[in-house]
Chains A and B, each alone.
Chain A
Amino acid sequence: MLVIEDDAALGAQLVAQLERAGFKVRWLRDGDAARDVDLDGMRLVVLDLMLPGTYGLDLLRLFRGRSEVPVLVVTARNETADKVRALELGADDYVTKPFWPEELVARVQARLRRPTMTRGDLLRVGALELDVGAHRATWEGTPLDLTPTEQQLLVALARRPGAAITRRALAEAALDLGGERTLDVHVSRLRRKLPEGAPRIVTVWGIGYRLEADAP
């Protein structure tokens, strides 16, 4: 991972935060030095746009001409024109100063996160496997005895493990009749059918439910 930041204090912090999150970080303090940097093997670039805006944008244009590496832009001016320009030039995302360490790490991880493993009609969350086409669910290879509604609910949740899904979206995905009122009944039955150690269905206040990907 490459960090290009001219401010010494902030640069040191960025490096420390990203290293704590488990990344190997190279830090360049000089924009000119960054011009010829080798981007091969870099998973992501954190680029400060700096104040005379075009400088950071120049680097971005230069990088885009050479590589597909994701670029996360850090901006302090909070000017829409800068952000739009950066996104147009191929930046993948941006973070506005000031930010908490976890904000930057969250954006980096969101950028590096691979899409949910899907092979054809197969969804997999941990050892839970859902065959969407065949309407079949297995846990560690053991088939689960689910009604069609429960199966559809589980599929809707497993499409985006860890993300909260609204009651409305779940009802639209799985329920033909009865609407949101019968949703809780179906969910509680489904919960009972999921074996110990399988991903859990967590209630999210104000929203609906979430499939907890990494069960403790």
Chain B
Amino acid sequence: MKLRARAALSLFVGLVPLVALLVWGAGALRARAVVDATVDAARGVLDDGDEALCAADPDAFVARVRETRGVGFGSRRREARRAAASMIAMVDDALRPVTSGGPRLDAAMAEALRGGAESAVRREDGRRGARLVVAVRTPWGRGRCAYVVVARPEPRRGQVLLWASALGVALLAVAIGGLAVGPIVRRIRALTAAVDAEATLPEAGHDEIGALTRAFAARREELRRRLTELEARDASLQRFVANTTHDVMLPLTVLHGHLASLEESLRGGDPQAVATVRAAQEEAQYLASLVQNLGVAAKLDAGAPHVVLHDVALVPLIERVVARHARLAAQRGLELAHAVPEAGVTVRGDVTLLEQAVSNLVHNAVRYAEPGGHVAVVLEREHAGRFSLRVLDDGPGVPEALLARLGERGFRTDEARTRQPQGTGLGLHIARDVASRLELTLHVARGEERGLVVTLAGPCLPAPVAP
């Protein structure tokens, strides 16, 4: 519920019983005043000497009172006296009426008077409105005219007016309440809009909303400061990783070169030495792949600014990856082949991430294939603007039950692929992470006869129109 509606409702709910109570109290007081005035008036119409006159002939006495008396002072009192004089009757000390006509006692009044009360009152509702009947003990209080009974119509209009004005006051209060909440609501809205839009916060006053505004401003400042700190830290960390990568990669490249020429110079020589050089090359390649993977993992963790989307040509990417693993494949006696469509395939992605993902797939396939085995990298354009990049091998493969778990970080199918137990999990995991970051799919399945088929697929840009 909106603040304004809530304020109006609570004002209304709070005011209505209060106003009702006040109106009821005012009505009761007023009714009490009317009764008191009527009792006074009833007493006032009689004089001390009236006992004998009344006792002689009550009807004549009453008639005379009606004619001669009924003049008083003060508006309500005078009115009551006039009314009392107009409807008057007398009752003896046994509570029997002694005049013909006029108001009568009822049982409850008689009971009260018999019990010694000075006066008794009842209200009665007639067809022409309510009237008040009051019985009062005469000053002498005995004989034929022991009690005087007067009746007067009870004013009603005042009560209706009272209720109407009370309701009016309540509604007015609600309206004023609503209006009074208005500026508060406007300020809160302005504050909300400013916070949402990260705009300058509105002028802060010295009230609670001002305090709220200042609290917001302070927290925002704090957040900005921390964010700047974190960004600076992140940037310096990224720089550090990039610099370290550079520092490691340069000597590693030189090491690759030395190992390559060492192998060449050993060709035809000691088979043990050749095997050692080849093992060293495998380790060097693994080390390089590990450092690249760590860099990619850091990029993936750091998120947006380090993942750069651009048009990536997949054919040269595959050629680079295949060239990178050609030496390892040849040493292991594997046939590593690739096929790409003549027109090429371009995708939207980050070339570093994609290349490392594909490199991981090929690296795994080459590492786990058996001597004399095969690894194929096949890029194809599928229907509806999609591509698929499959890396197939005819190595030992993995059991069906383990296929689903292959992408979990650090997971290794030790049971099936025990020959080179280092690092499969990280490589495939990173390939999977890259795929999900670039909105591609990575699917691992068993090969038709044996081995694995890992398929990276997703949308690609339309093929260039042949010239």
Our verdict on whether A and B bind, yes or no, reads yes
Mark A residues whose CB is within 8 Å of B: 7, 9-10, 13, 16-17, 51, 76-81, 83-84, 93, 95-103, 106-107, 110, 159-160, 163-166, 168-169, 204-208, 210
Chain A residues whose C-beta falls within 8 Å of the C-beta of B416 in the assembled complex: none
Give bound CA distance, A5 to B431, whole Å: 32
Q: How many A-B residue pairs have CB under 8 A?
A: 131
Give bound CA distance, A57 to B437, whole Å: 29
- The answer on a CB contact under 8 Å between B376 and A205 is yes
**Given A93, A97, A164, which contacts B252 in the complex, CB threshold below 8 Å?**
A97
How many B residues, CB 8 Å from partner? 49
- The answer on a CB contact under 8 Å between B250 and A13 is no
Chain A residues whose C-beta falls within 8 Å of the C-beta of B255 in the assembled complex: 98
Q: B31 CB to closest chain A CB, in angstroms?
A: 91
| Interface of chain B residues 320 through 378 with chain A (CB within 8 A) | 320, 323-324, 326-327, 335, 337-342, 350-353, 355, 374-376, 378
Chain B residues whose C-beta falls within 8 Å of the C-beta of A100 in the assembled complex: 256, 260, 323-324, 326-327
Chain B residues whose C-beta falls within 8 Å of the C-beta of A77 in the assembled complex: 242, 245-246
Q: Which residue of A lies closest to B334 (CB)?
A: A205
Chain A residues whose C-beta falls within 8 Å of the C-beta of B249 in the assembled complex: 76, 78, 96-98
Beyond A10-B250, A98-B255, A208-B339, 9 additional pairs, beta carbon < 8 A: A7-B254, A13-B254, A16-B257, A78-B292, A98-B288, A106-B323, A166-B339, A206-B378, A207-B339
Give bound CA distance, A61 to B327, whole Å: 34
Q: A15 CB to closest chain B CB, in angstroms?
A: 11
With a 10 A CB-CB cut-off, give which of A79, A81, A100, A168 has the most chain B CB atoms.
Answer: A100
Chain B residues whose C-beta falls within 8 Å of the C-beta of A102 in the assembled complex: 260, 323, 326-327
Q: A121 CB to closest chain B CB, in angstroms?
A: 15
- The answer on a CB contact under 8 Å between A101 and B260 is yes
Q: Which residue of B lies closest to A209 (CB)?
A: B339
- The answer on a CB contact under 8 Å between A95 and B320 is yes
**Interface: B380 (CB within 8 A):** yes
**Interface: B295 (CB within 8 A):** yes
Say whether, besides A13-B257, A79-B242, A95-B320, A205 and B250 are in contact (CB < 8 Å): no
Say whether, besides A97-B252, A97-B253, A101-B260, A204 and B324 are in contact (CB < 8 Å): no
Q: Can you list 11 A-B contacts (CB < 8 A)?
A: A7-B250, A13-B254, A78-B245, A84-B310, A97-B252, A100-B326, A101-B257, A102-B326, A103-B320, A103-B326, A169-B341
Give bound CA distance, A163 to B315, whole Å: 12
Interface string of B71-88 (1 = CB under 8 A from A): 000000000000000000
Give bound CA distance, A210 to B376, whole Å: 13
Q: A176 CB to closest chain B CB, in angstroms?
A: 19
- The answer on a CB contact under 8 Å between A51 and B246 is yes
Interface string of B251-266 (1 = CB under 8 A from A): 0111111101100000
With a 10 A CB-CB cut-off, give which of A96, A101, A110 has the most chain B CB atoms.
Answer: A96
**Interface: B316 (CB within 8 A):** yes
Give bound CA distance, A127 to B252, whole Å: 44
Q: Which residue of B lies closest to A51 (CB)?
A: B246
Chain B residues whose C-beta falls within 8 Å of the C-beta of A16 in the assembled complex: 257, 261
Chain A residues whose C-beta falls within 8 Å of the C-beta of B307 in the assembled complex: 80
- The answer on a CB contact under 8 Å between B380 and A51 is no
- The answer on a CB contact under 8 Å between A165 and B257 is no
Chain A residues whose C-beta falls within 8 Å of the C-beta of B320 in the assembled complex: 95-96, 103, 107
Chain A residues whose C-beta falls within 8 Å of the C-beta of B394 in the assembled complex: 205-206
Give bound CA distance, A169 to B380, whole Å: 9
**Interface: B243 (CB within 8 A):** yes
Q: Which residue of B lies closest to A169 (CB)?
A: B341
Give bound CA distance, A99 to B292, whole Å: 12
Chain B residues whose C-beta falls within 8 Å of the C-beta of A165 in the assembled complex: 339
Say whether, besides A103-B320, A110-B319, A166-B380, A204 and B339 are in contact (CB < 8 Å): yes
Chain A residues whose C-beta falls within 8 Å of the C-beta of B260 in the assembled complex: 100-102
Give bound CA distance, A127 to B254, whole Å: 42
**Interface: B457 (CB within 8 A):** no
Give bound CA distance, A76 to B394, whole Å: 33
**Interface: B392 (CB within 8 A):** yes
Chain B residues whose C-beta falls within 8 Å of the C-beta of A208 in the assembled complex: 339
Say whether, besides A106-B319, A159-B342, A84 and B253 are in contact (CB < 8 Å): no
- The answer on a CB contact under 8 Å between B327 and A80 is no
**Interface: B175 (CB within 8 A):** no
Give bound CA distance, A13 to B260, whole Å: 11
Chain B residues whose C-beta falls within 8 Å of the C-beta of A210 in the assembled complex: 337
With a 10 A CB-CB cut-off, give which of A51, A76, A95, A164 has the most chain B CB atoms.
Answer: A76
Give bound CA distance, A207 to B376, whole Å: 7
- The answer on a CB contact under 8 Å between A17 and B257 is yes
**Interface: B308 (CB within 8 A):** yes
Chain A residues whose C-beta falls within 8 Å of the C-beta of B376 in the assembled complex: 164, 204-207
- The answer on a CB contact under 8 Å between A84 and B308 is yes
- The answer on a CB contact under 8 Å between B256 and A99 is yes
Give bound CA distance, A164 to B322, whole Å: 13
- The answer on a CB contact under 8 Å between B310 and A103 is no
Give bound CA distance, A110 to B338, whole Å: 15
Q: Which residue of A lies closest to B381 (CB)?
A: A169
Q: Which residue of B lies closest to A168 (CB)?
A: B380
Say whether, besides A76-B245, A80-B351, A103-B324, A98 and B256 are in contact (CB < 8 Å): yes
Give bound CA distance, A166 to B342, whole Å: 11
Give 4 closest A-B pairs by Cβ, nearest first: A206-B376, A205-B374, A13-B257, A98-B253
Q: A92 CB to closest chain B CB, in angstroms?
A: 10
Chain B residues whose C-beta falls within 8 Å of the C-beta of A169 in the assembled complex: 339, 341, 380
Chain B residues whose C-beta falls within 8 Å of the C-beta of A110 in the assembled complex: 316, 319
Q: A158 CB to closest chain B CB, in angstroms?
A: 12
Give bound CA distance, A206 to B338, whole Å: 9
Q: Which residue of A lies closest to B287 (CB)?
A: A98
Q: A20 CB to closest chain B CB, in angstroms?
A: 9
